[in-house]
Amino acid sequence: MEKMKVMLKNRYLTAVSSIGLLAIITGCAATESPQVTTPSPSPVAESSPPPVKPNQPLTVSVNNPETATNTKIQQYLNGLTAQGSAKEDQGIWMQSGNTLLANHQGTVPLSAASITKVATSLVALQQFGPEHQFITEISTNGTIKDGVLKGDLVIEGSEDPLFVWEEAIGLGNILNKKGIKRVTGTLIIVGKFYMNFELNPLKSGELLKQALNSEIWPSEAAAQYQTLPPNTPKPQILIDGNVKVLPARPSAVPLAKHYSLPLAELIKKMNQYSNNLMADMLADTVGGAKTVAQKAAAATGVPSAEIQLVNGSGLSDDNRISPRAACGLFIALERYLQPYNMTVADVLTVVGKDKGILSERALPKLAVVKSGTLDNVSALGGALPTQKQETVWFVIMNRGANVEAFRTQQEVLLKSFLTEWGSVQVAPPELTPNPARSSKVSRSELVL
C-alpha cells in the first residue's frame, strides 16, 4: 500500500501505474463487434451469496503453539529486538489445519496497513457475490439523426470502482457504432459515477467527456490507448455542452450499458496493485469502514475489538487488526469462495504468477499473499503451501524504523520454514485459481 504522500500525489492514477493488466482485459472489448441486444437482465447474481458460517472461530485456540515453530518465531523476534525494534510492536499468528504453530500478540489489534483490504474484499464478496458487475447506464432525452444526437447524453453510475480510460474508450466506440458523432446538449451525470478513481462526479464527467473525443485526449488517455490492441478505433464524439450533475435521472431512452469486470476480478486487481481508492470505494459501497469491520469480525468469529477500521484501504494508522483476526480473514475468504469453485488465489496475488506490487519481492513462489506498508509498518499475510504441513496460514505484523529491513526479514523467515517443511513445485488445489476466471472481461453493449 502506498504511503499517504504518494497516494495524494497520484490521485488520478492511470491504469498503467495502478492496474497494469487492465489494458489486456478491457482492450478486447474495444475491438470486438458490439453485442447488440434488447435490454437483458443484469449479470449480477440472482440470489444472495451464501453467508460465511465460521466454525466459531475460524482460528484455533490461542494456547499451546507447536514448540519448534514458535521457538523459531521467538528467535526471529529476538533478532528484531537486537536491531532496536520492540517486541510489543510486533505480532505473529501461524496456523495449519487445527494446529496453532506460532502466536506472538496474536489477539492484540495492531496497525494493519493494506491487510485491511482483505477485510474489504471479504465483505464486498459477501454482500454482492463474486459474479456481481457494476453497470453504468447510458441514455438520452434526444434523437439521433445523421450522426448527431440532438439532446443530452446521460450517464448513470453504480459505483464501478474501475471505470478508467480504457473503459471510456470502449464505450465511446460503441456509441460511435450507434451512429453518434456529436451531442448538441450536455453530458449529464447521475448517481455514483467514478472515472479514473475520481470520486467527484463532476470531475469524472469531465474526464469522460475528454475520453469520448480522441481529438481532445490528454496525454494520459493517449498513453493508455497505446496499450490497447492494434487497430483499436479512436472514439469521436464531440459534446457541445458542459458537464452537469443531477440528483436523479431525467426521462430518457436507453442507449447502452457498460458492465464492469465481475467483482472477483475487480478485487484481484485491487489487491495485486494495492489500490487504495478502489478499496475505499468498495468499502463505501457496502456501508463504510465500520460495517466492514463488524461484518468481517462476524465472518471470522473473533471479538469485534480485534478488527477496528476507519477506512477500507488501510491508509491510516487507526486501522487495527489482530494477527489472529487477520489470519481468520484469509481463511474466511477461502471458505466463502469454495462454493463458487474459487480459491483465495482468484482474489489475491500468487507469488511468481501475478504481476503487481509484490513482483520485486523475494517471497516464496506459489504463496498466496497480501502485503501492507504504511510509514513505519510492514505487514504480510496469506497462505504458504508446503510439503510437510497442510497449507500454513500466517500473518506477520511489524512496526519500527526500518520497513525495508522488515520486508527482507519476513522473506528470510518464510524461506527458512520452507527449508524445514519443503517447498512445492505445483500449487495445491486450495491455492490454485480457477482457470475459467482469466477469460472474464468488462464490456459495453448497445440497447435497442
What's the average model confidence in pLDDT over 325-350? 97
Q: How far apart are CA 79 and CA 87, in angstroms?
A: 10
Residue type, 50: P
Residue 10 pLDDT more than 60?
no
Q: Per-residue confidence at 39, pLDDT binned at 50, 70, 90?
A: very low
Secondary structure (3-state) at 428: coil
The pTM of the full predicted model, rounded to 2 decimals, is 0.88
pLDDT higher than 90, residue 47? no
Which residues contact residue 238 at a Cβ distance below 8 angstroms, ignoring those fewer than 6 apart?
Answer: 181, 182, 183, 213, 215
d(CA 170, CA 429): 36
- CA-CA distance, 133 to 129, in Å (whole number)? 9
Contact 381, 300 (CB under 8 A): no
Position 269 pLDDT exceeds 80: yes
> Three-class SS of residue 329?
helix
The C-alpha cell of 300 is what?
Answer: 471470522
- Pairing state between β 153-158 and 135-140: antiparallel
Give φ, ψ of 254 to 5 degrees. -60, 140
| 28 has a pLDDT exceeding 70 | no
Q: Report, as an integer, the average pLDDT of 51-65.
A: 75
DSSP symbol at 363: P
Banded model confidence at residue 438, pLDDT cuts 50, 70, 90: confident
> What backbone torsions phi and psi does residue 6 show, to the nearest 5 degrees?
-65, -40
Residue 117 has pLDDT above 70, yes or no: yes
As a whole number, mean pLDDT of residues 66-73 equals: 97
Domain edges within the chain: 22-33+134-260, 67-130+265-437
Buried b (16+ CB within 10 A) or exposed e, 333-369: bbbbbeebebbbbbbbbbbeebebbbeeeebbebbbb
Tell me what the mean pLDDT of segment 393-405 comes to: 97
Distance CA 18, CA 196 (A): 10
Residue of 58, 73, 65, 56 whose CA lies nearest to 99 = 65
What CATH number does domain 67-130+265-437 carry, 3.40.710.10, 3.20.20.370, 3.40.50.300, 3.40.640.10? 3.40.710.10
**Amino acid at site 91:** G
Same fold, 22-33+134-260 and 67-130+265-437: no
Query: Do 291 and 282 form a contact (C-beta atoms < 8 A)?
Result: no
- Residue 429 is which amino acid? P
Higher pLDDT, 45 or 189: 189
pLDDT in tens, 350-368: 999 999 999 999 999 999 9
The DSSP string of 63-102 is S---HHHHHHHHHHHHHHHHTT--GGG-EEEEEETTEEEE
- The string of DSSP letters for 218-260 reads -HHHHHHHTTSPTTPPPPB-EE-S-EEEESSPPS-EEEEEEEP
All 3 cell numbers of residue 133?
458487475
Write down the mean pLDDT value for the chain: 89
CA distance 433 to 440: 13
- What would the CATH number be for the domain defined by 22-33+134-260? 3.50.80.20
Roughly what angle, to the nearest 10 degrees, separates helices 22-31 and 165-177? 0
- What would the pLDDT profile of 158-215 be if each residue is shown by its tens digit? 999 999 999 999 999 999 999 999 999 999 999 999 999 999 999 999 999 999 999 9
Positive/negative CA dihedral, 164, 168, 169, 174? positive
DSSP letter (8 states) at residue 339: G
Q: How far is CA 94 from CA 222, 249, 411, 439, in A?
A: 47, 51, 15, 34
